Amino acid sequence: MVQTHEKTATSPVNIAVIKYWGKRDTELILPSNSSISITFSKEHLQSKTTIRASPLFEKTRLWLNGIEEINVINNKRLQNCFRETKLLRKEYEDKLSKEIGIDNVIPLSTYHLHICSVNNFPTAAGLASSASGFACLVYTLSQLYELPVSATELSKIARQGSGSACRSLFGGFVSWQMGSKQDGSDSQALQIASSDHWPELEVLICIISDAKKGTSSTEGMQSTVKTSTLLQHRINNVVPERMKLMTNSILRKDFNKFAELTMKDSNQFHACCLDTFPPIFYLNDTSRAIISVITEYNDKSGEYKAAYTFDAGPNAVIYALKRNIPEIINLISKYFPPNQDNQTFFSDPSKLFSD
Ligand code: 2P0
């Protein structure tokens, strides 16, 4: 009887506080600047992937969210992840063959795969679905293939699926070091601190729209690289110093500094989008109103008690200390009550959560 081999794993979303925007190499997915993110708990935002390998499968197939079959052949990013993990599996099989004999090694590296990947949140709505999706694909493959490699090694493969995916290989506070080598061998994720480092820190996600975004991150960032002079200033003069300051603020659990840097970096990322020609708009009126409400709240408090950040979409991510979360939820729900004027803001209470 032919045996089918199967593994299932989950991977969480990460949201950057120092943003990645721009590639210096689009083939290898090498970024123009380093970045820092926080990985969320898997409970709320996660990708779940099941992979089967069998000698009976005639081709590799992938289904997304149970309905959509992805064309795997023409998808370079998926092929990168398959190629790199299969290479490692082949090396492992060769090593095992020498130790226990070729007849005792399952040649998984030669089998086609059937993959099913599901997100428990809106796909492509600026909530980092490609990050958790590719991280999960690579992690599940590493489990299926029993690869004896570190999370940092896997991060270099996930990076070739989607840049931000490399950061989801770790929990807690994570940096993606841009690296300087041309082959990308030093462009990898490292953990700054584990998920239990700063238990007082919480996150609030405000779903303003779960519609698919107009300009994809991949297209948007290359348009910014080509046309924005502000991005060059950011890459050369701003991010290197911010990486150090942000790392320190996390290690010292200095919320005031963390919040200031998070908001400034989100603002600069969106300023670079606006400086792109033609401009890219990810924020909408509700996003901007949230920025105003948080700014006023911080001003009144005399310190930064909440930090907003926005990715390539209008949804707000608010970092705050646990003790201030109820006050912030009250404040935001006061200004943006559920279903007001057809707004989808907080339309489903389960979508407003703290982590
Ligand atoms: C980030 N974003 O650091 C930034 C902030 C969006 C805004 O990483 O082309 O989907 O697949 O490498 O990873 C989104 O970019 O782009 C992103 P690709 P990706 O999280």
Spell out the residues 6+ positions from residue 264 whose beta carbon is closer than 8 angstroms to its own: 242
Q: Calculate the alpha carbon distances from 347 to 169, 342, 350 in Å.
A: 31, 9, 9
Please indicate whether residue 80, judged by its CB atom, sits closer than 6 Å to ligand 1. Answer: no
- Pseudo-torsion of CA 318, 324, 325, 328, nearest 10°? -70
| Same domain, yes or no: 261 and 284 | yes
CATH number at residue 205: 3.30.70.890
Question: Are the C-beta atoms of 332 and 290 separated by less than 8 Å?
Answer: yes
Please indicate whether residue 189, judged by its CB atom, sits closer than 6 Å to ligand 1. Answer: no
Domain boundary among 164, 193, 222: 193
144 CA → ligand 1 middle, Å: 27
| Same domain, yes or no: 137 and 159 | yes
| Same domain, yes or no: 36 and 109 | yes
| Same domain, yes or no: 142 and 248 | no
Domain boundary among 193, 209, 231: 193
| Same domain, yes or no: 347 and 216 | yes
The pLDDT of residue 212: 67
| Same domain, yes or no: 177 and 227 | no
Please indicate whether residue 155, judged by its CB atom, sits closer than 6 Å to ligand 1. Answer: no
The first and second tokens of residue 260, run together, are: 């200031």
Nearest CA, atom 7, ligand 1: 311
Atom of ligand 1 nearest to the CA of 15: 20
Per-residue pLDDT of the chain (355 residues; tens, 9 = 90+): 778 899 999 999 999 999 999 999 999 999 999 999 999 987 778 999 999 999 999 999 999 998 889 999 999 999 999 999 999 999 999 999 999 999 999 999 999 999 999 998 766 455 667 899 999 999 999 999 999 999 999 999 999 999 999 999 999 999 999 999 999 999 999 999 999 999 999 999 888 877 766 889 999 999 999 999 999 999 999 999 999 999 999 999 999 999 999 999 999 999 999 999 999 999 999 999 999 999 999 999 999 999 999 999 999 999 999 999 999 999 998 887 765 443 333 323 333 333 3
- 178 lies in which domain range? 5-193
| Same domain, yes or no: 298 and 171 | no
The pLDDT of residue 45: 84
129 CA → ligand 1 middle, Å: 10
Atom of ligand 1 nearest to the CA of 35: 3
| Same domain, yes or no: 174 and 270 | no
Domain boundary among 193, 217, 248: 193
The pLDDT of residue 198: 97
When divided into structural domains, the chain yields a total of 2
118 CA → ligand 1 middle, Å: 19
175 CA → ligand 1 middle, Å: 14
CATH number at residue 126: 3.30.230.10
| Same domain, yes or no: 107 and 37 | yes
- Pseudo-torsion of CA 208, 210, 213, 214, nearest 10°? -80
| Same domain, yes or no: 161 and 40 | yes
Please indicate whether residue 265, judged by its CB atom, sits closer than 6 Å to ligand 1. Answer: no
| Same domain, yes or no: 118 and 241 | no
ipTM, 2 decimals?
0.99
| Same domain, yes or no: 156 and 214 | no
